[in-house]
């Protein structure tokens, strides 16, 4: 028998019962497969919600989406989504439902592009890695022949579509026969050993599909200040907005508030950011809380992925850019970090997922409004009335860094925003350093000399260092030099120069580069890198200022480059302020011929 997670008994005790099709498939897999197969029902994928994933060590994985459709009620649209024949949408037109084939394909894409670390880079280097994850759709109320007819009607001559379908296993109720299914597994190499699906990849999948529980012993003893105590309590129906100066422990308080919310209602907590990588920083802070909880109760995502994943989970087809629908999960607690990055309609979309007595809390700082969102009375829009709860005491930054941030506010923000007093709680004698270097051009040798010299002189560990700039191009060169010249590993939120060169070569024919496809693939790589960025890697980090927003680092090398005509000015006050306030102790500014 297969290993089912959760077991059939546990599945039958869930609040939301499995559909008839899900129940039938689970029973079949349980009785047909041996114990080398693991079957995950509705696994935790941080936003994505596939029905079933079958995993086999040394072989691969299969994602199975289950549909209890009555095919007589549906027809295919021109772009091959499903259309309900007799049900109209809010515009009075036929209700369109996302194709289950596109739905399961998106789950697969996200495994590569987001969830499983290193899988995307492996796929780029070797396209054969695409074969280790197979997609299948099980139609419970139709035979295999009926489904094939439904999917190919009026498309028999469309060779590209027929080829696309061949990459998926289409299962009907008559496909759930042991011999038939074993043949399917054999065709997809799931009954054989694959040299591609090695132990490291298998453990990455397993770790993601079955998240562990967090125990009290794994947390830290944290003494919360009076300011923080006022905002960490969780209450039904409460709406609250919080602002914290640099280093005030805002994220620490957010994490405690999230855990307290779970302890209060035992339901899922939704935490949204705008910065993709910030989810991992929040995850780290939640792990420091000394309480018992399961990670499956915390969904931590950036806004756009949450909306996209939700729409895919409920087969929703977006008509307008801001379209979404709240069918599906409703949360008793929703927390938004970096609220100043949000547009007004996004907040309205998020609140559609809040229960009637739900708790809604936002955190933000208008001085980090690097995307120039519209403010209301010099403050971010939140939809919450009343005063802001302000954390004024800084425990992270030294007096030197706090003084620099304060002087910057007075010099550049006096007419834009209200002045924030930063009350430093660290010792006045804490060692700190602010250095300024001017270079006539982006000389990598000189940058490396400054970097290596600082580390040697101060004994600073690589894990405590980050390079930041407004653009990736220079950072790529610095990254390669650290790896090649100093023989050190690095941790970046963007592609290496080697990956960039390979992708550019892949998308170049007869000397002409397909810039559109290259840009799309680079965006995919960068999303993957950000989604899997963790702080304590033991290596020097490199990131754009935008991507590092919300994080912190003891030593920061800030590369100030000259502006280009095709971009917003690097020297926006908010961007510089954001970079400065990421630094806890040592700030080394390297100005590369920027006279502004």
* pLDDT tens digits for range 432-463: 899 999 999 999 999 999 999 999 999 999 99
Model pLDDT, residue 323: 52
Smallest CA-to-CA distance from 246 within 590, 587, 532 is with: 587
Alpha-helical regions (H) of 430-496: 444-458, 472-484
- The four Cα atoms 268, 270, 271, 277 give a dihedral, to 10 degrees, of 90
- Average pLDDT on 185-213 reads 91
Which of 6-20, 65-79, 465-479 shows the lowest mean pLDDT across its residues?
Answer: 65-79
> E-strand spans in 17-157?
37-41, 52-56, 60-67, 74-76, 82-88, 94-97, 133-139
Which of 184-198, 382-396, 508-522 shows the lowest mean pLDDT across its residues?
Answer: 382-396
Smallest CA-to-CA distance from 400 within 194, 206, 246 is with: 246
pLDDT at 343 over 60: yes
Q: Which two tokens stand for residue 330?
A: 């409703």
Model pLDDT, residue 95: 75
pLDDT at 570 over 50: no
- Average pLDDT on 465-493 reads 96
Please give the mean pLDDT across all residues of the chain: 90
Model pLDDT, residue 357: 94
Model pLDDT, residue 134: 96
| 157 pLDDT tier (thresholds 50, 70, 90) | confident
- Average pLDDT on 486-499 reads 96
Pairing of the two strands 94-97 and 82-88: antiparallel
Model pLDDT, residue 88: 57
pLDDT at 251 over 90: yes
List pLDDT tens digits, range 66-90.
999 998 888 887 777 777 766 655 5
Sheet holding 389-391, edge to edge: 298-302, 269-273, 331-336, 354-363, 239-244, 389-391
Model pLDDT, residue 208: 86
Most confident of 312-326, 375-389, 552-566: 375-389
| 571 pLDDT tier (thresholds 50, 70, 90) | very low
Whether this model's pTM surpasses 0.85: yes
Which of 240-249, 351-360, 403-412, 571-580 shows the lowest mean pLDDT across its residues?
Answer: 571-580
Pairing of the two strands 465-469 and 490-492: unpaired
pLDDT at 232 over 80: yes
Q: Which two tokens stand for residue 519?
A: 């840009």
pLDDT at 214 over 60: yes
Distances (CA, A) of 175 to 2, 34, 139, 142, 184: 18, 18, 10, 10, 9
pLDDT at 219 over 70: yes
CB 331 within 8 A of CB 306: no
| 229 pLDDT tier (thresholds 50, 70, 90) | very high
CA distance 119 to 111: 8
Distances (CA, A) of 13 to 6, 8, 27, 490: 10, 9, 15, 46
Q: Which two tokens stand for residue 259?
A: 């855990």
Name the residue with tokens 């950072």.
475
- Average pLDDT on 125-136 reads 95
Burial (Cβ within 10 Å: 0-12, 13-18, ≥19) of residue 433 = middle
Pairing of the two strands 553-560 and 583-592: parallel
Which residues, including other chains, have CB under 8 Å from residue 152's CB and lie 6 or more apart? 162, 165
Asked whether the CA dihedral 505, 509, 513, 519 is positive or negative, the reply is: negative
Name the residue with tokens 């502006």.
563
- Average pLDDT on 208-225 reads 86
Concatenated DSSP letters of 488-536 = --EEESS--HHHHHHHHHHTEETTEE-HHHHHHHHHHHHHHHHHT--S-
List pLDDT tens digits, range 302-340.
999 999 999 998 887 754 545 555 556 799 999 999 999
pLDDT at 559 over 80: yes
């Amino acid at each position: 028998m297969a290993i089912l997670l959760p077991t059939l008994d546990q599945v039958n005790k869930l609040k939301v019962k499995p559909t008839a099709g899900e129940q039938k498939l689970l029973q079949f897999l349980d009785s047909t497969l041996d114990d080398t197969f693991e079957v995950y029902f509705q696994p935790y994928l941080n936003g994505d919600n596939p029905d079933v994933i079958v995993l086999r060590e040394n072989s691969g994985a299969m994602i199975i989406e289950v549909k209890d459709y009555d095919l007589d009620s549906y027809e295919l649209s021109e772009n091959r989504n499903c259309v309900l024949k007799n049900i109209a949408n809010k515009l009075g037109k036929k209700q369109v439902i996302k194709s289950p084939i596109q739905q399961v394909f998106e789950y697969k894409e996200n495994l590569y592009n987001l969830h499983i670390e290193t899988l995307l880079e492996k796929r780029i280097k070797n396209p054969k890695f695409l074969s280790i994850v197979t997609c299948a759709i099980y139609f419970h109320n139709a035979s295999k022949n009926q489904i094939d007819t439904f999917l190919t009607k009026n498309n028999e001559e469309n060779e590209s579509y027929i080829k696309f379908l061949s990459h998926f296993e289409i299962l009907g109720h008559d496909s759930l026969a042991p011999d038939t299914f074993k043949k399917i597994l054999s065709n997809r190499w799931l009954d054989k050993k694959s040299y591609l699906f090695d132990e490291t990849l298998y453990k990455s999948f397993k770790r993601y599909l079955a998240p562990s529980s967090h125990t009290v012993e794994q947390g830290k003893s944290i003494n919360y200040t009076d300011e923080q105590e006022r905002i960490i309590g969780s209450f039904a129906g409460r709406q609250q907005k919080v602002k914290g100066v640099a280093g005030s422990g805002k994220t620490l308080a957010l994490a405690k508030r999230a855990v307290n919310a779970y302890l209060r209602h035992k339901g899922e907590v939704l935490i949204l950011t705008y910065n993709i990588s910030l989810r991992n920083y929040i995850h780290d802070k939640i792990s420091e809380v000394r309480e018992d909880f399961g990670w499956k109760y915390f969904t931590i995502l950036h806004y756009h992925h949450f909306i996209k994943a939700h729409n895919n989970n409920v087969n929703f087809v977006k008509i307008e850019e801001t379209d979404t629908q709240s069918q599906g999960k409703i949360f008793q607690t929703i927390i938004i970090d970096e609220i100043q990055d949000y547009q007004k309609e996004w907040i309205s979309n998020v609140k559609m997922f809040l229960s009637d007595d739900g708790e809604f809390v936002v955190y933000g700082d208008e001085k980090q409004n690097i995307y120039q969102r519209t403010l209301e009375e010099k403050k971010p829009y939140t939809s919450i009335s009343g005063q802001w709860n302000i954390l004024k005491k800084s425990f992270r930054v030294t007096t030197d860094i706090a003084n620099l941030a304060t002087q910057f506010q007075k010099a550049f923000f006096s007419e834009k925003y209200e002045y924030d007093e930063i009350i430093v709680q660290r010792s006045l004698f804490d060692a700190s350093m602010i250095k300024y270097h001017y270079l006539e051009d982006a000389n990598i040798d000189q940058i490396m000399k400054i970097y290596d010299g600082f580390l040697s002189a101060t004994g600073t560990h690589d894990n405590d260092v980050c390079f930041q700039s407004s653009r990736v191009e220079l950072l790529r060169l610095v990254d390669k030099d650290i790896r090649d010249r100093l023989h050190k590993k690095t941790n970046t939120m963007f592609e290496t120069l080697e990956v960039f060169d390979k992708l550019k070569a892949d998308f170049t024919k007869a000397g002409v580069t397909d810039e559109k496809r290259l840009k799309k693939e680079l965006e995919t790589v960068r999303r993957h890198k950000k989604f899997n960025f963790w702080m304590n890697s033991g290596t020097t980090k490199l990131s754009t200022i935008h991507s590092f927003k919300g994080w912190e680092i003891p030593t920061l090398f800030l590369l100030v480059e000259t502006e280009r005509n095709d971009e917003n000015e690097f020297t926006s006050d908010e961007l510089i302020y954001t970079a400065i306030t990421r630094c806890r102790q040592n700030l080394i500014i390297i100005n590369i011929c920027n006279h502004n």
